[in-house]
């Protein structure tokens, strides 16, 4: 990964971010109820001064402000209790912030009615540490179910499920039940399920928390490939080694506060340069696509990837 070309790509990325940061933002209050524009057209996630307190001693998230742009790969790190899962739950609209503004694809989450929440969530792929598979359904049916609930036709299911199972290396396990799979395979199924709709945003909360290092690489490889298709990926993790090696953007939380936001950071330790090239090869079993310059029109389309159904 530390090749000269990827370094220059990173520098380009950093310059682009600096340029974007310097671009005047749309007035904060200018976002309309449902179709409001994001303060940056390329922002998929925006937190502005978001606070969620559980009680007086437990600050879930405190005054968090950050943006995640289309196509970003973001690691959320921090010690246990730092607020990573709280942040994910806020994004999933499982809970509401006490104050501050959260926008996803330009829409203020507080304005999505309860009835519209399921439509909103269709745009999100979600992967959990404990897989959350349906125990009485086969691999195929676990993944097909995710499509069925969105109203996909039988024809779509017949074509998309085998495709995603191939991508995730599960073609030979179609008829197995979750209890007949290893932990890594179960997590592959849950990644397949999260991605079968090709959501514009994928959230993974400790996706490798229960897996050994080799299996972890396989899951990260999948998330990396999913990100390369253009899906924005946010991964909360304790896996210091993996974060250091992947050299992606890192936001670190401590007691609910953002204490670090680095474009290509490590977990807080030193980059593991001795294995970077090998690791890069391991992670991508295909050459990484050349960094793409987005046209203004493409950049402005971050929100257009999202289903309009959740806005009124
Ligand atoms: N339902 C809840 N009620 C009260 N306090 C909570 C609740 N959920 C989380 N907390 C507290 O909020 C803080 C943040 O928790 P959170 O689960 O977001 O941390 P985390 O960074 O995901 O930790 P971990 O790495 O252990 O998963 C912690 O102090 C936690 O005890
Ligand atoms: Mg957590």
Pairing of strands 232-236, 73-77: parallel
Give the ligand with the smallest distance to the CA of 81.
1
User: How many Cα atoms are found within 13 Å in the side-chain-facing hemisphere of 12?
Assistant: 11
Which residue's CA is the nearest one to ligand 1's atom 17?
A: 85
pLDDT digit string, tens, across residues 253-287: 999 999 999 887 666 654 444 345 555 555 555 44
| pLDDT, the chain, mean | 80
Give the ligand with the smallest distance to the CA of 76.
1
pTM (whole model) above 0.85: no
Q: Which residues pair with 103 in a beta bridge?
A: 46, 108
Burial of 116 (0-12, 13-18, 19+ CB in 10 A): middle
First to last CA, the chain: 44
Write down the residue that tokens 């671009």 correspond to.
23
Are 272 and 246 within 8 A, CB to CB? no
How far apart (Å, rounded) are the C-alpha atoms in residues 179 and 181? 5
Neighbour tally for 26: CB within 10 Å = 15
Name the CATH superfamily, with its identifier, for domain 38-285: P-loop containing nucleotide triphosphate hydrolases (3.40.50.300)
User: 232 by DSSP, 3-state: which?
Assistant: strand
Cβ contacts of 135 within 8 Å, gap of 6 or more: 177, 178, 179
Residue 112 structure tokens? 């999505």
Phi, psi of 165 (to 5 degrees): -70, -30
Best-predicted range by mean pLDDT (31-40, 231-240, 297-306): 231-240
Query: Is ligand 1 within 6 A of the CB of residue 84?
Result: yes
Pairing of strands 201-205, 124-128: parallel
- Helix orientation angle between 139-148 and 183-195, rounded to the nearest 10 degrees: 20
Residue 304: predicted pLDDT:
61
- Cα(81) to centroid of ligand 2, in Å? 7
Give residue 143's pLDDT band: very low, low, confident or very high (50, 70, 90): very high
Residue 187 structure tokens? 């997590």
Query: Is ligand 1 within 6 A of the CB of residue 77?
Result: no
């Amino acid at each position: 990964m530390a090749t000269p070309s990827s370094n220059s790509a990173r520098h380009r990325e950093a310059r682009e971010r600096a340029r974007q940061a310097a671009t005047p933002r749309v007035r904060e209050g200018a976002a309309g109820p449902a179709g409001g524009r994001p303060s940056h057209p390329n922002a998929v996630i925006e937190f502005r001064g978001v606070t969620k307190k559980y009680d007086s001693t437990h600050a879930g998230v405190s005054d968090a402000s950050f943006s995640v742009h289309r196509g970003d790969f973001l690691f959320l790190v921090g010690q246990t209790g730092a607020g990573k899962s709280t942040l994910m739950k806020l994004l999933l609209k499982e809970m509401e912030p006490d104050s501050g503004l959260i926008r996803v694809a330009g829409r203020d989450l507080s304005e999505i009615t309860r009835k519209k929440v399921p439509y909103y969530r269709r745009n999100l792929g979600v992967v959990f540490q404990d897989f959350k598979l349906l125990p009485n359904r086969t691999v195929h049916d676990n993944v097909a179910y995710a499509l069925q609930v969105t109203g996909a036709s039988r024809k779509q299911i017949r074509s998309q499920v085998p495709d995603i199972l191939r991508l995730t290396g599960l073609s030979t396990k179609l008829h197995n039940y979750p209890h007949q799979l290893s932990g890594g395979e179960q997590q592959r199924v849950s990644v397949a399920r999260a991605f079968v709709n090709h959501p514009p945003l994928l959230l993974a909360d400790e996706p490798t928390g229960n897996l050994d290092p080799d299996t972890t690489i396989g899951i990260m490889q999948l998330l990396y490939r999913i990100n390369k298709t253009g899906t924005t990926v946010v991964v909360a993790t304790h896996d210091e080694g993996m974060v250091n090696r992947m050299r992606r953007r890192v936001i670190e939380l401590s007691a609910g506060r953002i204490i670090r936001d680095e474009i290509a950071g490590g977990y807080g330790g030193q980059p593991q340069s001795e294995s970077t090239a090998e690791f890069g090869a391991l992670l991508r079993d295909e050459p990484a696509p050349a960094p793409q310059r987005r046209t203004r029109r493409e950049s402005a389309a971050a929100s257009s990837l999202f289903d309009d159904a959740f806005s009124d």
